[in-house]
Structure 1
Amino acid sequence: MFIQHNEYALYGENDQYIPKLTPDILDLVVKTPQKYNVKAFNLSEINEEVFRKYRQLLDLDPTVGMGGEQYTATVRPFLTFYRGLSPYAQATRQITVEAQNLRQAMKQAKDVEKALFEDFPEALHFRMEDLRGNEKKIEDYRDHLQAAIDQLKHADRDLKDHISGFISQSIAHEDLTIDDWKARLQNRYTDLPSHRLGPEQVRWLKRMQSTIEEPNAYLDSLVQGVCGKKLDKFTDEDIPRFQDQWKAALHALDNLVEVSEHAESVPQDEEIFKVELTSLGAGTQAEQIRVPKARLAEAQGHVEKLKAALGTDRDLLIAILYKLLHEEHDK
């Protein structure tokens, strides 16, 4: 076997494939043979046809012989490709089932021969026996394999395009490039006084007004400023979560723009608020309120008593406050 090692596969503990049979490994096999098993490679004609297509796809020499070292060299680029995918691309379901299956097959690959001639074809809904002597079927398999790889390769780009398109629609109601909607976004809040903003709103505004020139880097910074996570670390569940947070951020800043338009006429000893109430029955009602800062300070004690009386149920607290505000608004 040592002389013809390229025709055999050696497996150690946990069915781990051992690609290179060295004298040291052979010594371990002799000492603890129960931990190892040997399997002859299947060098059939159909395997050879598919093997050549793999080599062509990977821009590797398709004329080399078949066997352990060649199989390892052929499957390695697939495994390296998987490990190089972002966390998002390694987990997203926003790709075809075939691409998801291939990704899983690459992730779990241990037996190089099984990966090449069973797991990868089955992931794409092909059977080796159907490929036998059928050049068109083999070409179809190659095309499906390339398409699945392309989907995984472009998953991050597609996510960025989707998020950029969502932001563009929320700002301009049309699809613009990042540079174009960035200019509109920055112009939208040019006159918003930062000293009137809360810490979270200051963070949003800084990201929006960033001088980062590279479009994708600007987008990534903006997204992270709103939801605390970079795009390549996203999960599918983060997409709608970001969209909700983004709409809330725009709504809050737009309200502040409206309030700030009246700020110059507000004395230094007063505070101005905009209260907006929305319900299914009453729709949306908005009202601006001006209150002396001294009275707000005096009312802080009442705020603490009210919080203590209402308890820690956030949803109930908001519902009660809404009811009180709605009743006052209708007076």
Structure 2
Amino acid sequence: MKEGIIPVILASVLLYYREEVGVYQDGTFVPVLGEEHFELLVKNPERYGVKYFAIEGLRGEIFKELETILSNSQLKDNSQVRNATLLSVVTPLYQFVKKLPRYTQQTKNLSKTALQILHSLQQTVEPDELLFSALPSACGLSSISFTSPPSQEVTQIFKTTLIKGLREINQAYDTLLNHCQSLLNTAFGVEGDKLRANLRIRGYNIKDKCVERSLKRFTQAIIDDSQNDSQWLSAVVMVIADKPAESWSDEDAIAFEVKLADIVRKFENLEAIQTEVNSQGIQEGVTARRITVTRDDGKETLRMVWIDDTREKEAEELVNQILTQLKGCDRKLREAVLAKLTEKILN
């Protein structure tokens, strides 16, 4: 046969079997064939491969079930796309996993089945292998071959398990945020959905007193009323973790609890000082300090200390006298003296 007619015949055959036969170039699936492909196919046929996509028997039953919930009708109606019927179901699955937050794509905090489904969507590139091998295997079923006999039971198990797994994957990020909100509720002693209103009031009471960077950013976040509740929670969580929750790893989620405890301690300490200052009606010229000493047996001493500007110079002189006596002492001894002085004076 003359070379000139070969591309025409190939195009005719591949067009006639555009649903049943998939074309691969260098191992990569080609959804749309163009002139450039036919020129290369004739010159370098070894770079191309074909695969028969049979959707019949049990495969046909499963395909019809999934088509009703996943099918992309616009793709199916596109006459330029090869294997459009198969891709109309598979493409939404690929798009689904690509749009997931980075946290969801890398988390291990999912059920075994959901993790296997997610891994299949991330790793399997061939449409038929995804739909009839990788996903059934992830759902605890055997691969579905051309010869697998129809089975309504297998079809329903696959459909139900897959949908349940996809739903769990889709909700993973929301589950993370809900967990963070629960931690916030517990840390600040707030019940139910009153967290935002509670923190907003408390934040306004200390916002003008915040100097420390992380505490100031946290206070600004909790009093922000320009966002809806979901956006507000995401912003607060990001400030505490210093990283958007969407891009967290599982280790970041664990570290969040530690960082939350630190910010709560700073917040409540400053809150306590301002409460004490307001209740005492302290005049100008007096500043407050909140000193806490915790012993190794768990006993704790907490005291509000008031520093009068008129006696600050006198106090400074006494401190300098003590430091002069400690000159030449190593750090551990100086710290031991500090601990003893604090305990004796506060007690």
TM-score (norm 1): 0.81
1:233 to 231, 247, 262: 247
Q: C-alpha separation between the residues in 2 aligned to 1:213 and 1:9?
A: 48
Q: Which residue of 2 aligns with 1:313?
A: none
Work out which of the two has the higher radius of gyration on C-alpha atoms and give 1 or 2: 2
Change (3 A) 1:24 1:162: same
Give deviations 1:77-128, integer Å, cap 9, x for gaps: 1011111111122122222121111112112232111111111111222113
Q: Counterpart amino acid of 1:255?
A: N
Change (3 A) 1:298 1:219: farther
Q: Does 1:35 align with 2:47?
A: yes
Give deviations 1:34-71, integer Å, cap 9, x for gaps: 2222223334422222221221221567xx9xx83322
Change (3 A) 1:173 1:258: closer
How do 1:31-180 and structure 2 match up within 5 A?
31-59=43-71, 68-128=83-143, 132-174=149-191, 176-177=192-193, 180=194
Q: C-alpha separation between the residues in 2 aligned to 1:124 and 1:48?
A: 18
Moved more, 76-85 or 23-32: 23-32
Moved more, 90-99 or 276-285: 276-285
User: How big is the shift at 1:27?
Assistant: 1.3
Q: Counterpart amino acid of 1:277?
A: V
Q: Does 1:197 align with 2:208?
A: no
Moved more, 16-25 or 132-141: 16-25
Change (3 A) 1:213 1:41: closer
User: How big is the shift at 1:170?
Assistant: 2.3
Change (3 A) 1:250 1:273: same
Please say if residues 141 and 158 of structure 2, whose CA atoms lie closer than 8 Å, have aligned partners that are also in contact. Answer: yes
Please say if residues 171 and 184 of structure 1, whose CA atoms lie closer than 8 Å, have aligned partners that are also in contact. Answer: no
Q: C-alpha separation between the residues in 1 aligned to 2:179 and 2:296?
A: 31
Q: Which residue of 2 aligns with 1:287?
A: 303
Q: C-alpha separation between the residues in 2 aligned to 1:56 and 1:322?
A: 72
Q: C-alpha separation between the residues in 2 aligned to 1:140 and 1:167?
A: 39
Gap runs ≥5 in structure 2: 1-9, 77-81
Q: Counterpart amino acid of 1:155?
A: A
Please say if residues 207 and 222 of structure 1, whose CA atoms lie closer than 8 Å, have aligned partners that are also in contact. Answer: yes
Query: Over aligned residues, Cα RMSD in angstroms?
Result: 3.3
Give deviations 1:159-189, integer Å, cap 9, x for gaps: 2222122212222353x12xx2111122334
User: How big is the shift at 1:277?
Assistant: 2.9
Q: Counterpart amino acid of 1:281?
A: D
Moved more, 254-263 or 45-54: 254-263
2:290 to 260, 274, 277: 274
Please say if residues 136 and 143 of structure 2, whose CA atoms lie closer than 8 Å, have aligned partners that are also in contact. Answer: yes
Q: Which residue of 2 aligns with 1:251?
A: 265
Q: Percent identity?
A: 16
Change (3 A) 1:261 1:47: closer
TM-score (norm 2): 0.77
Please say if residues 224 and 230 of structure 1, whose CA atoms lie closer than 8 Å, have aligned partners that are also in contact. Answer: yes
Change (3 A) 1:241 1:157: same
User: How big is the shift at 1:279?
Assistant: 4.3
Give deviations 1:177-217, integer Å, cap 9, x for gaps: 2xx21111223344336236323322221112222351111
Q: Does 1:327 align with 2:340?
A: yes
1:22 to 19, 34, 48: 34
